[in-house]
């Protein structure tokens, strides 16, 4: 069973993505940063695909999705408000055990410094496959999104997927990326 961890600063849309992928109200969503408090929320399920897409996963669409508490404050370089130092470490350990990581960035906030450092550690020290997503692109003018995408690509050395969980733009691209990495995991 492939484990996919969704990570990012507070309020970027991690729980919304979990719900969108599994097709239901599984994780609590709100506009208040620090909503996911259990630090880790696991859900077993099949990826819910729109009727228009042929199932590209083969038999590999049964995933364990791991929704995590926001690792950092959206504005400051401090830990997420619901995380003690202990819980933060526990969360990092859980992330390291995942097969695929989705790193979500809020289009209205940009790339978080703490997340940038963590991204490097996960990618180079732990050799984790990471999908980078810029979410909430519906809230930002296109040229600003493109600008941020360029910055992210330069700093994380990979192209981000541009996503909106309101309009669902980019959702298929995310599914394709998941399928791609799922082939390499078992």
Ligand X SMILES: Nc1nc2c(ncn2[C@@H]2O[C@H](COP(=O)(O)OP(=O)(O)OP(=O)(O)O)[C@@H](O)[C@H]2O)c(=O)[nH]1
Binding positions for Mg ion, rule: CB under 5 A: 14-15, 35-36
Q: Tell me: does residue 170 bind ligand X (CB under 6 A).
A: no
Select the residue interacting with ligand X from 3, 34, 60, 158 (CB under 6 A).
Answer: 34
Give the binding range for ligand X (CB under 6 A) out of 85-93, 95-103, 160-168, 172-180: 160-168
> Which residues lie below 8 Å from residue 115, measured CB to CB, with a gap of 6+?
7, 8, 9, 71, 72, 103, 105
- 8 A C-beta contact, residue 62 and residue 13: no
Complex with ligand X: residue 34 or 56, whichever CB lies closer:
34
Instruction: Find, among 115, 124, 90, the residue nearest to 8 by Cα.
Output: 115
Instruction: Find, among 156, 149, 153, the residue nearest to 113 by Cα.
Output: 156
Q: Which residue is nearest to ligand X (CB)?
A: 70
Complex with Mg ion: residue 33 or 129, whichever CB lies closer:
33
Select the residue interacting with ligand X from 138, 144, 172, 185 (CB under 6 A).
Answer: 138
> Which residues lie below 8 Å from residue 146, measured CB to CB, with a gap of 6+?
none
Q: Which residues bind ligand X (CB under 6 A)?
A: 8, 10-16, 29-31, 33-36, 69-70, 135-136, 138-139, 164-166
């Amino acid at each position: 069973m492939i484990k996919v961890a969704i990570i990012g600063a507070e309020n970027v849309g991690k729980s919304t993505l979990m719900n969108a992928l599994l097709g239901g109200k599984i994780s609590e969503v709100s506009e208040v940063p620090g909503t996911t408090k259990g630090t880790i929320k696991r859900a077993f399920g099949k990826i819910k695909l729109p009727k228009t897409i042929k199932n590209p996963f083969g038999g590999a669409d049964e995933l364990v999705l791991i929704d995590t508490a926001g690792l950092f404050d959206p504005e400051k370089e401090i830990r997420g408000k619901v995380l003690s130092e202990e819980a933060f470490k526990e969360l990092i350990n859980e992330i390291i055990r995942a097969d695929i990581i989705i790193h979500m960035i809020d289009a209205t906030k940009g790339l978080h410094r703490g997340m940038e450092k963590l991204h490097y550690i996960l990618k180079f020290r732990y050799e984790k496959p990471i999908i980078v997503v810029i979410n909430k692109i519906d809230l930002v003018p296109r040229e600003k999104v493109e600008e941020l995408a360029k910055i992210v690509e330069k700093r994380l050395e990979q192209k981000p997927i541009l996503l909106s969980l309101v309009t669902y733009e980019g959702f298929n691209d995310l599914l394709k990326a998941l399928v791609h990495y799922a082939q390499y995991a078992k």
